[in-house]
Structure 1
């Protein structure tokens, strides 16, 4: 008698985030077992139909991203526990910090669990007494849960492993470092340096304070950039669900400048790199593995990033681009200026960035790695 098809439950706060970054995980689940029932517990925005076309069963949940209110967190954990009891999944794959912490608090026990850390966000960087207390309690609970249940962890950079170990994550835990969600290099072919005057640089990402867009604007006013013929293109939506979102009035004020344009969200980021010669990501705080970097690298664009986890894992200073201190407009301006003034250097670093992507950050590699973990856990 054939065994029943396994149920794999993905838990991710936003359907658009799963659709844009983690569609390859559906392929990974299919590799583990082609018969698998794949379910996604998420906030439903506008990607439900697209996900259902991939064979994903979408269940609305109502996550509150960035909320660290204890009672709200506890109520959400209880709701998650009820859903898991009803679905009886064989594997639960929690993506990002909010679903991970809810799963820990829910004590869902039974199915195999993967904690997929895409960045440590507000919980790691917040400095208020309440956040420090919650950080200590919740991350230590995560470490305890992994020690007791042997959960598998997917991390996007090695810095996060060291950080979590400070809060009790076992040093012998089942940890795998993956290249973010990976990228299909065939969909993002290398592009020639666009050159031209004005030379364009671009930021791609959510318009939230942790991304440091205001630092980039300040860099545009710093020497030597203010004397150069440059244009900055901002691509990204204002994430209203994030407490750190920039006010729309502030973003529109930036876009009113002669040297800055705001284009909002863009569906096909390849159009960005056909026009822009330099990718800039001036993040203030920790990243997981920014997809924007992988996309720019695949298109052979040099990268200017800050010295924070995630960014420094991909970009090696002087190889794929430049790594500068966070919140330092003058250092950021100097790095951009070096690339803006030297087309040959842009081409050299852009080619190195694509090679870096091909070495370990492709979608094929990520799918194979996660698919193998799914297979192992389903057979355990």
Structure 2
């Protein structure tokens, strides 16, 4: 079969869906359509065919460009004639879904998170929900990554057909193995995310300033590309010795290895946090917010701690609570996280559900 995958970036597709690509190419011809990026070559080397899509602007709202994107997807469908299409993230879901519906091509949608346009009340929410209804109306299956997103879309009558719940993107338990918990003179906290306000970077930096002064043996790492205007702040705090900014880290296992705890103070509309899944798989405790996409992964006091959204003081208190734990307790929290992802979040679950959709479309 010909399988076409529409996505908005190469990083997420390669890092979180590589195992699905590997399974698909065993018996199918696989095409990926997305903007070019550094991981495209890796996927092409695996055996997939690349269709560049430079029209896709993840944050753009220009109606003319959006119409161009729909037209582009239609041309791709007519030229490559896929037997089934998998879509990820809002624009491929919506506009790719519209194009597939027009040509009666089976397609499977993955709601990787609602995004701020849907989560926040207002005119943008109304417009986006209308577009989603149009894009999802003929989907063979709509996958959700958490029950809150699923219930929201069902309550707004966006999904009329079949739907199912995935354990996020799952985590590769062979790639992310249990790492020996660090027993060094320093305690290292890590923030791994796109550097943007909604990911809780302000709260993390506030905590780093306070904790570093009170506990000099702590280290605060920031890993991720700047998507908003934080570069000068990160550079300044690095020069002051408050944080260590690593930029976008290609081999994130290096960071997990030194980490004592992953801090993910996000209030962004997540699907299911891959950073938290990977951290738990590596047997690292986590500190994260009580919101959909995060709360499913943390058992408060067992494999980490829960913090309030947008609350620097609460984050500081939870970090201090973590620091007060004996070494063995911190280590056991990490091992409890590993057991949790083994039970509930294996990536093989995701691969199996997608392969089932392939069979049903034949």
| Same fold, judged at TM 0.5 (above) | yes
Distance, in Å, in 2 between the alignment partners of 1:52 and 1:145 is 28
Between the two proteins, the alignment pairs up a number of residues equal to 358
Out of 151, 158, 165, the residue aligned to residue 162 of structure 1 is: 151
Aligned to 1:356: 340
Contact 1:320 1:352 in 2 (8 A): yes
**Cα deviations across residues 192-212 of structure 1 (Å, max 9, x unaligned)?**
321333311111122122211
Determine which of 133, 137, 146 is the counterpart of 1:143.
133
2:305 matched to 1:317? no
Gap change, CA 1:109 and 1:314, over 3 Å in 2: farther
1:111 pairs with 2:76: no
Contact 1:300–1:351 under 8 Å retained in 2: yes
Note if 1:216 corresponds to 2:204.
yes
Partner of 2:187: 199
Q: Please state whether the residue corresponding to 2:272 is helix, strand or coil.
A: coil
- Deviating above 4 A after TM superposition, structure 1's stretches of 4 or more consecutive aligned residues are none
TM superposition shift of 1:302: 0.6
Deviation at 1:295, TM superposition (A): 1.4
Structure 1 segments unaligned to the other structure (5+ residues) = 1-5, 240-244
1:25 to 8, 20, 38: 20
Once the two structures are TM-superposed, the CA of residue 269 in structure 1 deviates from its matched residue by 1.7
1:45 to 22, 37, 40: 37
Q: Which structure exhibits the higher relative contact order, with contacts defined as CA atoms closer than 8 Å and separated by 6 or more residues?
A: 1
1:220 alignment partner, SS class? helix
Q: Secondary structure at the match of 1:41?
A: strand
Structural mapping, 1:126-137, within 5 Å: 132-137=122-127
Q: What 5-or-longer segments of structure 2 have no aligned partner? A: none
Using the TM superposition, give the Cα deviation of residue 144 of structure 1 relative to its aligned residue in structure 2, in angstroms. Answer: 5.1
Moved more, 109-118 or 19-28: 19-28
Q: CA deviation at 1:155?
A: 1.5
Q: CA deviation at 1:372?
A: 1.5
1:277 aligns with 2:260: yes
Contact kept in structure 1, 2:209 and 2:242, CA below 8 Å: no
Question: Alpha-carbon deviations, 1:291-325, whole Å to 9, x = none?
Answer: 21111111111100011210112112222211111
- Contact 2:95–2:135 (CA under 8 A) maintained in structure 1: no
Residue aligned with 1:250, SS: helix
Q: Secondary structure at the match of 2:132?
A: helix
Tell me what 1:67 maps to: 60
Partners of 2:161 and 2:148 lie apart in 1 by 15
- 1:90-110, CA deviations, whole angstroms, 9 ceiling, x for partnerless residues? 111011112112124434331
For the pair 1:228 / 2:203, whether they are aligned, the reply is no
Deviation at 1:180, TM superposition (A): 2.4
Show the counterpart of 2:46: 54
Q: Indicate the RMSD between aligned Cα atoms, in angstroms.
A: 2.0
Distance in 1 of aligned mates of 2:86 and 2:179: 36
The Cα of 1:187 is off from its aligned counterpart by 2.1
**Does residue 1:365 correspond to 2:349, yes or no?**
yes
State the distance in 2 between where 1:168 and 1:125 align.
15
Would the aligned equivalents of 2:11 and 2:39 in 1 still touch at CA under 8 Å?
yes
Of 85, 89, 114 in structure 2, the residue corresponding to residue 120 of structure 1 is 114
Partners of 2:206 and 2:308 in 1: how far apart?
14
Normalising by structure 2, what TM-score? 0.92
Deviation (angstroms), 1:126: 5.0
Q: Determine the structure 2 residue equivalent to 1:102.
A: 95
